[in-house]
Each structure stands twice: as C-alpha cells, then as structure tokens.
Chain A
Amino acid sequence: MSQQKENWGSRVGLVLAMAGNAVGLGNFLRFPVQAVNNGGGAFIIPYLVSFLVMGIPLLWIEWSMGRFGGKAGNHSTPYILDTMTRNRFWKYFGVFGIWTNLAVAAYYCYIESWTMSYVFHSIMRTFDGMTQSQVAQFFTDYVTIGTSTTGIPFEAPIFYILCLLLNTWILSKGLSGGIERTAKIGMPLLLLFGLFLAIRGITLGESGATAEHPDASAWAGLNFLWNPQFDSLTNPSVWLAAAGQIFFTCSVGMGTIHCYAAYVKPKDDIALNSMAAGWMNEFVEVVLGSCVVIPIAAGYLGLDWVRENASFGMAFQTMPFLFENWGPFLATLAGVFWFGLLFFAGITSSLAMGTPWMGFMRDEFNFSREKAAWSFGMVVLVLGMPTVLFYNYGVFGEYDYWAGTVSLVVFALAESIIFSWIYGIDKGWAELKRGADMKVPEFYKPILKYVTPTFLLFVFIGSVFSPVGGDWMGALQSLFSGSGWPLDNGSLINQVMNIGLKEQIAAATDATTRTNLEDQLMFISGSRILLVVVFASICGLVYVAYRRRMKEGRV
C-alpha cells in the first residue's frame, strides 16, 4: 500500500476541484442543446427533479463511498467496493471506475486539445475574414489528419500530445500541488470568462440582425430556450434526456468523485462539500451555459438556423465566425475567453480522470506519484491515438457511447444498490452524516434507498429499449397490437448490433460510400475490441493486486 498519504490542502481547494471535475464542456454545449430539443423552459422541471432525486443522492453516495474507502487506504473503486461488500465479484465490477476514466480521458483530451489549438488560432487571428462555411471547413480540415491549418504537419496529434503532456505533468505534481492549484486558478477564470460571454449573450438583443439574417435576435434564442412547453412533461423521452444530462453534468458513475473523496480526512465533512460543488456546477450550467451559445448564435444567425443546427459542433464550427462580428480586438478576446473557458472546463475534468488509475497503482503496486501519472499518460496515449487518427471513422463516437454514456448508468445503478441495499442504508446514512457541517434532510434516506435506484433503473431500461423517435406511447401501442417493439437505432440493443450503420451500408448506392461505411464498421469493431482488452487488463491487475493482498495478509 502507498506509504505517502496525500490530502487536500484546503476546503475551498477541494470544492473547486470537485466542481471543476463536474463542470465540463457539456455545461456549455450539451445542456442548452438538450433544453432546446426537449421542451425549452419546461425541460428545467424534469432536469431539476432529476438533480434532486438522482444527482444529489448520487453525489452523497459517491462522496460517502470515497471517504469510507480512503479510511482503509483504498483510493479507487475496485477495493472500495470490495471493502463495502465483502464479495469477490464486486471488486471486478469496480473496474468500471478506472476503465471509464481511461476511455473517456482518451477522447476527452482530444476535445481539450482542440480548445488549446483554437485559443492559439484566436490569438493568431486565423479566423479573421472567414465566412461561416470556411470556419466550419477549418474544423473539418483540422480533424482530417494530414491537412494542416497552420503549416505544422500533423497539427491535431501534436496538440493532443501536448495536452496529454500537460495533464500528466500536473497530475505528477500531486493532489494539492497540481490538481488543487489548477482548480484554484482555472475555476475563477472560467467563471470570469463565462460571465463576460453570458453578459454579451443576454445584451446582444437584435443588434446582430443583417440583410442576410433579418430575423436574428438573441431574445428569440433565449425565449426559445426558456419558454415552457408543458405538454413535454408527459413525454418519457424528455425525462430520460433530463436524467441523462444530470449524469453528464454531475460526473457521477465514473469513479472520479470516489477517488477525490478518498483523500478527505475521516472526520471532515462531505455532506456540505458535495452540495457546494454540486450547486456550483448547476450555476455554471444553468446560468452561464444557457446564456452563451444559443443567444449568441440566434443573435446573428436567427432562430431557424439554431433549430436546425444546434449541436456540440457549434462551439468550434460556428462560434469563431460569430465573434468576428465584434471587431478585431473583441473577437480575439472573445475567442480566447470562449476556448479558454472550454479548456479550463476540460482540464479540471480530465485531471480528475487520471486520479482513479493513479490511486489504484499507488495503493496496490507502490507506484510513486510521478510513475503513476506518467503511466496514466502512456495508457491514455495508446488508447487515445485511434480517436485522433480515425476520428472520421467513428472511433471517437464509439468511445463516447460505451465509456461516456452506457458505463456511467450501469455503474451508478450498481453503486446505488450497493450503498443502500448491500452495505446497508443505515450504515451508509451514518457514514454520510459523520462530520457533516449541514443538517442532511431525513427525507433523503428513503430517496437514497428506493427512489434513486428505481430512477436509475428506468434510465437504464430507457437506454436499452429506446423506441423509434422516442415515442414510447406509439411503441406500446405497436407492442400490444402485435407489431413488436420498434427499437430506435440509438437504443443500446441496436447499438450493440450496429443496426443503424448496417442499414446505411445496405442503402448505399455508390461504391465509395459503401466502402467508407464498411471501413467505419471495421474501425468501430476494432475500437470495441480495444476497449474490452483494456477492461480485461485492468481486471487482471485487480486480480494480481488481490493475490498481493493475500500474501501480505491484507484480505
């Protein structure tokens, strides 16, 4: 077991690091798009309900499990689950808490490297005078390896490696000297940059209207985002989307919160700390996240454009063009602020993804901090290069689906059952309240035991059997009329079978498209094999660690 026990330097540092872990690119890019697509202002109701009955309970569960594990010297989920359950199986299930982070870090660092590169391009005024389609093409060229946008060959892999080196170097400086210091610098800057852009977004009004886009209005964008469409509240798909957003935004089901909390001293509070970090994340998402992309895009391109094009890609394919409307100085400043904000949101999350692997290797194999950090960097490099080199073949999306979506729900469902039903809600509740600096509402005890696992079960079932177009009522009618359940190609079952891609291959009329899609299928299958190999390898390490513990009499 690691002899050098690390701790957080200060309470504010811990909360900022935890909030930084939760605040990510999704706060600014995913939340507004989800809200627009799921009932506008009415989306906030299932969203906040999901936060109260699923987000907060999962935060409390993960903080409690983490601090509990840390007391016994366990800083990653395999042996945290092992200690809580006393069952051989669960430590292998805990591998999800390491694997998810490695796989997500692999592609997440790639997005982070885009933000680094775009800060550089904003300073160099690369986007000066470009049309919207040229800015979008710039991004396409960037992710097409071999096409250089600066004259630097292999620009995307170079920025990726630089980004990974920076992450690894910060991780090697430790919890207090690296992660906490980065959060203390990054989070205030993120809030500052976000406030600047949000104020610009809500004060833009109709000043961006042009002859080409006469109806452009930031107010229309905000109205579209916040006007409540109450009929959407009866649609199960809206609730699933809201619950899914809470997952992403709280960074639950990953294993990072367990690891950070494992370094909290046994008598210190976790209940209030988790609330402070959780609500800070909500502030960034709901207040800042909703006031940037949608109103600025609607303010220059009009609401119809936003309706048709609202997506994650807007951050890189559209925003630099919109900033050009603000004149040379403000455009540069806004570009640096926007991509700087996304960079800080990204790096505070990717650093968190490094800690479970480091904690595991230090606990079980006596790795030094530096060795653990560099080994993380190497594993992520090997796992991440396919997402960089074969981005256009769907490898990136495949990692995101399995590690960044499915695995989170599976792990969160399991941990909520372990905490409330296997470890026991009474012991779990006592663990949460130990050293608490706030009164934890008693009504949350039955919520933790019954509501949260049930809610998670619905989310899981919803992702497995998602019907075509999210039309659950239509799917039920189809089932009862004997026509079967019409599965959507986004459902887990159809994803496993690659039904959507196979349909595209069957429908392809020209040979080039067909070959391209078949290549995509091959790369997707290859990336799945790689992910499974990594999971199995970590299981192997857990087994070796178990044997070492047996020898040392620690089991």
Chain B
Amino acid sequence: MTTAAVITMVSTMSIVTLFAAYFFRKIIIIPRKSDLEDTD
C-alpha cells in the first residue's frame, strides 16, 4: 500500500471510530429525561 493510502485509511477510520464511540458513550452515560421522571 502507498503511504498516501495508509494515511487516508488510518485517519478516516480513526475519525469515524472516535465520533461513533464518543456519541455512543454519551447516550450510555446520560439517562433519558423520561427515565429520570419515572424514577422520581
């Protein structure tokens, strides 16, 4: 593989994975407002 292909592949995959992990982690740690109301 050429250096340009490796850089493009690794950087693109890293960006996409980071965003996916970041948003998915947030929905796990932040409870739904309706769940909080039900608990109250």
Give the A-binding residues of B (Cβ under 8 A): 1-2, 4-6, 8-9, 12-13, 16-17, 19-20, 22-24, 26-28, 30-35, 37
**Interface pairs (30), CB distance under 8 Å:** A11-B32, A11-B35, A12-B28, A40-B5, A41-B9, A44-B12, A222-B1, A226-B5, A226-B6, A226-B8, A226-B12, A227-B1, A227-B8, A228-B4, A265-B33, A265-B34, A268-B33, A269-B30, A272-B23, A276-B27, A279-B16, A279-B19, A279-B22, A279-B24, A280-B20, A280-B23, A286-B13, A286-B16, A287-B17, A437-B26
Of all chain A residues, which has the CB nearest B8?
Answer: A41
Tell me, in angstroms, the Cα distance from A226 to B4 when the chains sit together.
8
What is the number of residues of chain A that contact chain B, defined by CB distance less than 8 Å? 34
Chain A proximity of B33: nearest CB distance (Å): 5
Give the chain A neighbours of B5 by CB distance below 8 A.
40-41, 222-223, 225-228
* Interchain residue pairs A-B with the least CB separation, the first 6: A41-B8, A283-B20, A276-B23, A227-B5, A226-B9, A279-B20
Contact yes or no, A15 B16, CB < 8 A: no
Closest CB of chain B to A294's CB: distance in Å?
A: 12
A544 interfacial contact with B, CB 8 Å:
no
Give the complex CA separation of A272 and B33 in angstroms.
13
Interchain CB contact under 8 A, A438 and B32: no
Majority SS at the chain B contact face: helix
Q: Tally of A-B residue pairs with Cβ under 8 A? A: 92
Most buried by A among B6, B8, B28, B32: B32
A282, CB-defined interface residue at 8 Å: yes
| Inter-chain contacts of A538 with B (CB < 8 A) | none
Give residues of chain A (366-380) contacting chain B, Cβ–Cβ below 8 Å. none
Are B9 and A283 neighbours in the complex by a CB distance under 8 Å?
no
Give chain A residues whose Cβ lies under 8 Å from the Cβ of B33.
265, 267-269, 435
Task: Determine the distance from Cα of A452 to Cα of B28 in the docked complex, in whole angstroms.
Answer: 30
Q: Which residues of chain A come closer than 8 Å to B30, judged between CB atoms?
A: 269, 272, 437
